[in-house]
Structure 1
Amino acid sequence: MTTPGGEAFPPGVVFFPGASRSRPPKHGCRVDAAQPGAAIEARRMTSSPEPRRGTRFVITCIGVGLLAGLLSGLFGVGGGTVIVPLLVLILRFDQRLAAGTSLAAIVPTASVGVISYAVHGSVAWIPAIILAVGAVIGAQIGTWLLPKVSQTALRWAFVAFLVVVIASLFFIIPSRDAELELTWLSGAGLAVLGVITGILAGLLGVGGGIIVVPALMLLFGTSDLIAKGTSLLMMIPTAISGTVGNLRRKNVDLRAAAMIGLAACTTTALGAWIATLVDPFVGNVLFAAFLVFISVQMAMKAIRGRHQR
C-alpha cells in the first residue's frame, strides 16, 4: 500500500483516508483507530528499555558501590553477590548486563583492596598468580560444562559445601602470623583450587573469593588477612579477562560500572582496615554470616529453577 504521494508504508502500518501524513517511527508503532480519519499515534516499542539515567540512577549506583566496596575489603570478595541482585532489583537491569557491569566494577575495587592489604604485607603474590591462571582455565571448562550439568543439583551441592565451610569457620581459627608457604605440593594444590574456582564461576556465576578465602584458611592454613588479600589479587586478571569478553557482547553498562567501581574504591580500604582490627574469630563469624547470605541466595535460585521445570 502507498500514500497518496506514492510513498510506501512500512509493513504493519495502517493508513486511514484523510489522516495526516506523519512519518511513523522507525521502530514500529501503535495505531489508535477509535476515531477514523484521525492521525496515527505512534510509539516507539523497545524489548527491554534502558534504565533511566536520572538522579535515582546515579544515587543507586553510588550506594551499591559503597556497600560492595566495604564487603570486598572486609571479606576479600568481589562484591558481585551484592551488585548483581541490586542492579536487577532496583534499576531493572537484565541479568547478563548486571553480571557484566558488576565484573567491570570489580577491577578497580579489587585493585584498591590489594593495595590496602599489601600495605600490611597480607598478599601472597606468586600464589595469587597461580590461582588466577587456574581460574581462567577453569572458567572455560565451566562454560563448556554449563549445558551438560543440572543447575539445580549443582546449586544444592554448592549450598551443602558452604554449610560445611560455615561450620568449620567456628572451629578452625588460623593464626594471624600464618603465611602461605609455596612448595611444589602447595603450588599444585593452588593450581587445582584455581581450576575448581573457575569451573564453579563458569557454572554458577559465583565470585572466586567465596571459594578461595575459606579454602586458603581451612586447607592451606593461611591467616585470614593473607587469604583475603590474595583472593583480591587473583580476581583482577580474571575480572579483566571476563570484562573484555562482555564488552564484545555489549553486556557492560560502562557508566554504571564506572560509578559503582569509583564509589567502591572509597570504602574498600575502609573494609580492609576494619578486617585488620577485628579479632580472627570475630572475622570468621562475620564471614560466616556473609556466607549464610550467599547460601540463602543460592538455595532460592535452586528452588525457583526447580519450580520452573
Structure 2
Amino acid sequence: MSEAKIDENHLDESPRGIAIMAAVGVAVGILSGLFGIGGGTVIVPALVWLGLTQRHAAATSMLAIVPTSISGVISYALNGHVDWIAALLVFCGMFVGGQIGSWLLSRLPELVLRWVFVAFLVFVIINQALFVPSRDSAIDLNVATGIEMAVFGIVAGVLAGLLGIGGGAICVPALSILFNASDLIARGTSLLAMFPNAITTSVANVKRGMVHTKAALIIGIIAACITPFGTWLAGIASPSVNTMLFIVYLAALLLRSIFVAWKATKAAQAAKAA
C-alpha cells in the first residue's frame, strides 16, 4: 500500500493502535478455530474504527485471513475434519467470485458497502438460527453436488471479496445445510477453501493499492498462533452450543454495524442537504 493511501486513511499506528490490532488477532484466532471463519467480521470493523475506510479495511482483512486460515486448516486436518475434494470445488468457484468481488470493492460507494455488510449479517444469523448441524454426517459427493459446490463457491467468493471476509460465515452453514457436512467438517473444509481465495483476492487488492500490509501481518500472524486453541474449543463444544455462540456473536456485531451504517447515512444526507 502506498504512503499516500496510508496517509489518506489515517490508520492509528500508535502503541494503542498496535495493541488493539494484537487484541483483534487473538479474538480472530479463537473465532476462526471455533467457527471455521476467516475473521473478517471482526477485522473489518476494528480497522474502520482505527481509521481505515470500509474499502481499505475489507482489502486489508483479506490479507490477514491468509495465515489465519492456513493455521486453522492444519488444526482441523490433523483431526480428520477436512473434505479435500469439496474444498477444491468450492475454491474453484471462489477464485472466480473473489475477483469479481475485489473489482466491485474498488468501485462501490462506501455507504453501499456498509449496508451490504449489514444485510450479509442478517442473512447469516437467520440461517444459523434455522439449522443445527449434526456431528456425524458427511458430504456425499457426486457430479450434481460437485457442480452445485462450484456455483456456490462463485457466490461465496463475490461476497468474500466485496466484504473483506474469508467466506467462512457463508461456507460453514451452507456446507451443512446444502451439502450435509458435519459441523466440524464444514469448518475445516471452509477454512481450506477460503485460504487460496484469500491469497488471490489479496493479490488483486494489493495491485489496486487498497491493502495496509503492516496491519494485516500483525493481525494475521497473531491470529494464526491462536487458531489451534479455537479449534480445540470447537471439538469439545456440542454443535448446538457452537451455533448458539455464533448467533450471539453475530447479533452483537449486527447491532453495531447497523448503528455505524445509520450514522454514515445520516452524515451523507446532511452533507447532501448542505
- TM-score (structure 2 length as normaliser): 0.83
Contact 2:34 2:230 (8 Å CA) reproduced: yes
Contact 1:166 1:291 (8 Å CA) reproduced: no
* Residue of structure 2 equivalent to 1:212: 171
* Residue of structure 2 equivalent to 1:86: 46
Could you list the structure 1 runs, at least 4 aligned residues long, displaced by more than 6 angstroms after superposition.
Answer: 144-150
Q: Would you say 1:120 and 2:120 are equivalent positions?
A: no
Residues of 2 paired with 1:234 and 1:253: CA distance? 24
CA displacement, residues 131-183 of structure 1 (integer Å, 9 cap, x when unaligned): 111112123444667779994886675455334313213xxx33322111211
**CA spacing shift, 1:157–1:93, aligned 2, 3 Å:** closer
* Residue of structure 2 equivalent to 1:231: 190
Question: Match of 1:210, as an amino acid?
Answer: A
* Residue of structure 2 equivalent to 1:26: none
CA displacement, residues 35-80 of structure 1 (integer Å, 9 cap, x when unaligned): xxxxxxxxxxx96374454432332221111111111111111111
Residues of 1 paired with 2:60 and 2:235: CA distance? 29
Residues of 2 paired with 1:51 and 1:158: CA distance? 26
* Larger fraction in helix: 2
- TM-score (structure 1 length as normaliser): 0.74
* Residue of structure 1 equivalent to 2:16: 56
Question: Match of 2:237, as an amino acid?
Answer: V
Whichever of the two has the greater Rg, that structure is 1
Equivalent residue runs for 1:134-153 within 5 Å: 134-142=93-101, 151=112
Residues of 2 paired with 1:51 and 1:272: CA distance? 31
Contact 2:118 2:254 (8 Å CA) reproduced: no
The Cα of 1:298 is off from its aligned counterpart by 5.0
**CA spacing shift, 1:203–1:301, aligned 2, 3 Å:** farther
Residues of 2 paired with 1:57 and 1:179: CA distance? 43
* Residue of structure 2 equivalent to 1:102: 61
* Residue of structure 1 equivalent to 2:238: 279
Q: Would you say 1:162 and 2:124 are equivalent positions?
A: yes
What is the SS of the residue equivalent to 2:8? coil
What is the SS of the residue equivalent to 1:48? helix
Residues of 2 paired with 1:196 and 1:190: CA distance? 10
Contact 1:175 1:223 (8 Å CA) reproduced: yes
What is the SS of the residue equivalent to 1:180? coil
Aligned mate of 2:213, from 233, 245, 254: 254
* Residue of structure 2 equivalent to 1:16: none
* Residue of structure 2 equivalent to 1:221: 180
Task: Point out where structure 2 has 5 or more consecutive residues left out of the alignment.
Answer: 1-5, 270-274
Contact 1:66 1:267 (8 Å CA) reproduced: yes
**CA spacing shift, 1:223–1:114, aligned 2, 3 Å:** same
What is the SS of the residue equivalent to 1:220? coil
